[in-house]
Chain A
Amino acid sequence: METMPKWADLILTPLISLLLAFAISGLVILAIGENPWEALKVMVTGALGSSYGWGFTLYYTTNFIFTGLAVAVAYHAGLFNIGGEGQASLGGLGVALVCLSLPWPGWWLALPAAMIGAALFGALWALIPAVLQARRGSHIVITTIMFNFIAAALLNYLLVNVLRPVGSMDPSTPRFPAETHLPSISDIMAGFGVSWGQHTPANVTLIVALIACLLVWMLIWHTRLGYEIRAFGKSEPAALYAGISPTRIIITAMMISGALAGLMAINNVMGEAERLLMNSVEGAGFIGIAVALMGRNHPAGVLLAALLFGFLYQGGGELALWTSIPRELITVIQALVILFTGALDNMVRMPLERLFLARRRRGAR
C-alpha cells in the first residue's frame, strides 16, 4: 500500500530532515555565541552567491556524484561498499600512471585513457573484497573498511619511495605534463565569451559525472544486468531460483562500484591537483555514503544530494574563512545533515505517513 504520494516520499521527507538538521546546527552556533543567520548568509553567498563560489561547489559536487553513485550501485546489489575512499585513491594512482607514462598529445586523448586507468584501478581494488565476499563469505563492510587502510598505506609507500621525483621533499608524484591538463568550466565558458568562475577547480569532469548518472540509471533500470543486480539485492533465494549467480553479481556490482569511485580521481587528481598527492580523496569516499543514503540510491537523488554536500563543503570553508566559527563546526553541521537525512530518516517519515493516512481517511469519509 502506498502510504504517501511520491513527491512527499522523495522531496518532502529529506527536505524536512534537512531543515531540522539546519535548525539544530543553528542552535549549536547560537550556543557558541555566534549568529546563525549570519553564518547561513556567509555559507549561501560563499557557495552559491557568485560564479566563483559555484566553481568550488560544483567541483566538490563532482567528487560526491562519483562516490555517491559508487555506493548506490553496490547498494542495489545489497552490498554496502564503504571502501569508496580506498577505491578513489587507487583510482588516483591509475590516473597518475596513465598521465605520467606516455607523452599525450592533448587532454582529449588523455582523458579517456585516464578514465580507463582510474576505473580499472578502482574496480580492481573493489574486486578483492568482492571475491572474498562471494567465495569466502567475508563481510564486505569489514573488508572494504580494511581496504581503505591498506590503500592509504600503499599510496603512502608508493608516493614516498617510488613515485616521488628525486630531490623532492613532497610525497607526491611530479606534476602531470601540461597536455594532460583538463579544461576547467571557466575555460569552457570563456570559449563562449562568458566570464564565469575564474580560478575555480570545477572542470570538464562535471560533464563526465552527469553522463555517469545517466549511464547508472540506464544500467540499473534498463539493462538485464541491472535487473539481476536489483533482484539479487532484494532477495538472494529468489536470485538463486531464477538462476542468477550470486558470485557473478557480487563481483560485477562491486567492480562497477569501485570503477565509479575510482573515476572520482579524474576530477581531483587530473582536473584539480594535476599530480597525485597524499590523501587526495579527503573523505569524499565517506561522504558518498551519505549522498547515496540521502539520494535514496537513485542517480537523480545522488545528483541533488551531491549538490547539497558540495554546498556544505564550500559554504563550510567560507564559514571558517570569514567568521570566528571554528572549522570543526562545519564537520558538526555535515554530521547533523547526515544524521537527520540518513540515520533518522524514519523519525520524519513515520509521522508524515501517519499525517497523510489521516488526511486520506478523512477524505474518504
Chain B
Amino acid sequence: MPTGAAGGAGVPQTPPAIELRGISKAFGPVQADRDISMAVPRGTIHGIIGENGAGKSTLMSILYGFYRPDAGEILIDGTPIAISDSQTAIRAGIGMVFQHFKLVRNFTVLENVILGAEDGGLLRPSLSRARKELRRLADEYGLDVDPDALIEELSVGHQQRVEILKALYRNANILILDEPTGVLTPAEADHLFRILRGLRDQGKTIILITHKLREIVDSTDNVSVIRRGEIVGTVRTADTSPEQLAEMMVGRKVLLNVEKAPAQPGAPVLDITRLRMIDRDGVERLRDIDLTVRRGEIVGIAGVSGNGQTQLLEIIGGFGEPGATLMGEIAINGKAIPLHGYGANGRTRRKLGIGHVPEDRQTEGLIMDFAAWENAVFGYHDAPEWQKGPLMDNAAIRADTESRMARFDVRPPNPELAARNFSGGNQQKIVVAREIERNPDLLLIGQPTRGVDIGAIEFIHRQIVALRDQGKAILLISVELDEIRALSDRIAVMFDGRIMGQDHPPDTSASDLGCLMAGVSPGGAPMTKGTGA
C-alpha cells in the first residue's frame, strides 16, 4: 500500500511546479479538505482522483483563488504565494478549464480568448495580437480552432480547446482540468489527451481531476488519491492498477466489473416502432426510432448526451417537452399506449408498470427540499397503501422509508433529512429504491451513476442486474461507455436522434461504439448531421 505525499516521478533538484503544504478548508461543520500536502513536478501530468464530495473540487478552487484555505500554504516553483483571487492565480501561471465551460456563446473564439485580458480600451490591437498568438499555439500544440468561429457553432470538443487556449494565452504554465471528458466522445477525449501530452512535453504542468479510473491510468504520470478530504496516497501511475486506485478511493475492495449470468430474454415488454418527435421549434429530435426491450434483458443506449436519449426516455416515461409533436407507436406488453393527452403522463405510465429513474435526479427524480420519506413515495404517493381516509398516512410512509433505507444502505438512515443533505450516491439510492421496490415490468434508468461514488455504483449496478434476473425489462441510458458495456446485454447507439443499430453485443469495442456515437459506421462513411430519414 503506497503512502506518503511526495511525488514519484520528476526531477528532484528543481522545485516542483506546484506544491501544497498542509492545506485545510472547512465549510461550517464540514471539513472539505484536511491537511492536504502534495507536490507536482514540472512537466508532468498529475491526476487527482476521488469520489464525489471527497474534496477535489474544493482543493482546485483554492488553487484558483475562489476559496482561501483555513491553513496551509501553496508554493509555485518553490516560492510561497497567497492566492487571494483568480487574477493572482492567473498571474502565477495557473490556468483552469472548468467542467462547465465559461465561454460567451455568441462571441467568436478570438473574442472569448481576449475577454478579460484585453491590452487596452481598443479591441483591435488585442485582437490582432491574439490572432497571431493563437496561430502560434495552434502550430505548437495541435490546438486547431477557427479563430473567427462563434462558440455556439463549435462542437463541445472544440469549445474545450478554446478554454485551453484561453489559459495558454494568459501564459499558463500549470493547467488544471476538472472532469474534462464528461462531455466528450471517446475520440474527442483521445484527442484531448494527445493535446495534453503535447503540452506536457513542452514543459507545461497539467493537473487532471477526474473520477474515471481509466483516464488516470492511461494518461497521467503520477496520481494522488483523495478520500474524505485527505490524501490517501500519491503514487506513480505506472506502479498502480485501476483496482488498487479504486480500493484507495473507497477504502475497501471494489468489484469494478459487474458479475452477471448471460441474459435469458423473454417476451418483449417495450416495443417502439417508427417513433418520431418534432420539438416546439420544429427540430426533429427523434427520427424513426425502432427499439425493443424484452423481459430479462438490459438494453443500453450509448451516445454523447444531447443526441435524443433524454427525449426518448422521457417520452416512454410519460412526460417530455411541452409542445412537441409525436408520431409512431409505443407498445407496452403488446398494447399500444397513448402518446398524447390525458393518458400520457408519469402517473398513467407507472400504472402500466413502468418504473423510471430519471437522468436528472436533482430536478426530476427528487424534490431536494422534501424529506427522504416524502421523496420515497414521490410519484407513487397516490397508492392506496399510503392513504388513510382523506389524509395521507405519513406515519406508514415514514416507517416504510426507514426499513427501505436500511435495505438499500442509505446513509445517514434518517427519513427526516431533506434530500439535498444526502450525498449524490445516497440520493440516487433513494430514487432507485423507490422505483425498484414497486416491482416494475420495465425500468427506465438514465445515468444511473452520474455523480455517484464508486461504492454506491457497485451497489446500484448489482440492483439493476438483480432486477433483470427477476425477468424484468431494463432500458439503460448512460454517457459512460464503460457502464453501458458492463451492464448491457444488448447495446444500441444513438446519434442525432437516430438509433445506429440496437443489437451490438456487450463486447463491442469502445472504439467501434465511439465511431457509431460520432455518427460514423465503423469502417464506413461518415453520416452527416441533420439529413432527414
Residues of chain A touching chain B, judged by Cβ–Cβ distance below 8 Å, are 1, 3, 218, 221-224, 227-228, 230-231, 234-235, 237-238, 240-245, 357, 360-361, 364
CB contact under 8 A between A241 and B370, given known A1-B29, A223-B392, A357-B28: no
CB contact between A241 and one of B28, B29, B319 (< 8 Å): that residue: B319
User: Which of the listed residues B317, B346, B350, B387 has the most CB atoms from chain A within 10 Å of its own CB?
Assistant: B346
How many whole Å from B34's CB to the nearest CB in chain A? 14
Question: How many angstroms between the C-alpha atoms of A240 and B347 in the bound complex?
Answer: 9
Q: B439 at interface (Cβ–Cβ under 8 A)?
A: no
How many whole Å from B107's CB to the nearest CB in chain A? 30
CB of B319 within 8 A of CB of A227, answer no
Question: How many angstroms between the C-alpha atoms of A282 and B30 in the bound complex?
Answer: 50
Known contacts A223-B391, A231-B378, A235-B363; 13 additional CB pairs below 8 A are A221-B394, A231-B367, A234-B367, A237-B360, A238-B367, A238-B378, A241-B346, A242-B346, A242-B381, A243-B347, A243-B350, A360-B29, A361-B26
Q: B312 at interface (Cβ–Cβ under 8 A)?
A: no
Chain B residue numbers with a CB within 8 Å of A231 are 367, 370, 378
Chain B residue numbers with a CB within 8 Å of A240 are 319, 345-346, 364
Chain A residue numbers with a CB within 8 Å of B369 are 234
CB contact under 8 A between A238 and B345, given known A223-B391, A223-B392, A243-B318: no
Q: B40 at interface (Cβ–Cβ under 8 A)?
A: no
Q: B276 at interface (Cβ–Cβ under 8 A)?
A: no
Chain B residue numbers with a CB within 8 Å of A242 are 346-347, 378-379, 381
CB of B350 within 8 A of CB of A3, answer no
How many whole Å from A163's CB to the nearest CB in chain B? 38
How many whole Å from B529's CB to the nearest CB in chain A? 27
CB of B368 within 8 A of CB of A234, answer yes
Chain B residue numbers with a CB within 8 Å of A3 are 28
Q: B356 at interface (Cβ–Cβ under 8 A)?
A: yes
Question: How many angstroms between the C-alpha atoms of A218 and B387 in the bound complex?
Answer: 14
Chain B residue numbers with a CB within 8 Å of A228 are 381
CB contact between A224 and one of B345, B367, B381 (< 8 Å): that residue: B381
Chain A residue numbers with a CB within 8 Å of B356 are 241
CB of A227 within 8 A of CB of B381, answer yes
Question: How many angstroms between the C-alpha atoms of A360 and B319 in the bound complex?
Answer: 45
Chain B interface residue number, banded: 35 or more
How many whole Å from A104's CB to the nearest CB in chain B? 30
Tell me the nearest residue of chain A to B367, going by C-beta.
Answer: A234
Q: B74 at interface (Cβ–Cβ under 8 A)?
A: no
Number of cross-chain contacts by CB at 8 Å:
80
CB of B421 within 8 A of CB of A222, answer no
Chain B residue numbers with a CB within 8 Å of A360 are 28-29
Q: CB-CB contacts of B335-366 with A at 8 A, as 1s and 0s?
A: 00000000001111110000010101001111
CB of A1 within 8 A of CB of B317, answer no
Q: B532 at interface (Cβ–Cβ under 8 A)?
A: no
Chain A residue numbers with a CB within 8 Å of B381 are 224, 227-228, 242
Q: B390 at interface (Cβ–Cβ under 8 A)?
A: yes
> Which residues of chain B in 380-397 are interfacial with respect to chain A, using CB atoms and an 8 Å cutoff?
381-382, 387, 390-392, 394
Q: B374 at interface (Cβ–Cβ under 8 A)?
A: yes
Chain A residue numbers with a CB within 8 Å of B319 are 240-241, 243
Q: CB-CB contacts of B183-205 with A at 8 A, as 1s and 0s?
A: 00000000000000000000000
CB of B391 within 8 A of CB of A222, answer yes
A-B contact pairs, 15 of them (CB 8 A): A224-B387, A230-B370, A234-B367, A235-B363, A235-B367, A238-B363, A238-B365, A238-B366, A240-B345, A241-B364, A242-B381, A243-B318, A243-B319, A244-B347, A361-B28
User: Which of the listed residues A230, A238, A357 has the most CB atoms from chain B within 10 Å of its own CB?
Assistant: A238
Question: How many angstroms between the C-alpha atoms of A237 and B367 in the bound complex?
Answer: 10
Chain A residue numbers with a CB within 8 Å of B349 are 243
User: Which of the listed residues A235, A357, A360, A361 has the most CB atoms from chain B within 10 Å of its own CB?
Assistant: A235
CB of A238 within 8 A of CB of B364, answer yes
CB contact under 8 A between A241 and B379, given known A230-B370, A234-B368, A234-B370: yes
Question: How many angstroms between the C-alpha atoms of A231 and B392 in the bound complex?
Answer: 14
User: Which of the listed residues B345, B358, B368, B421 has the most CB atoms from chain A within 10 Å of its own CB?
Assistant: B345
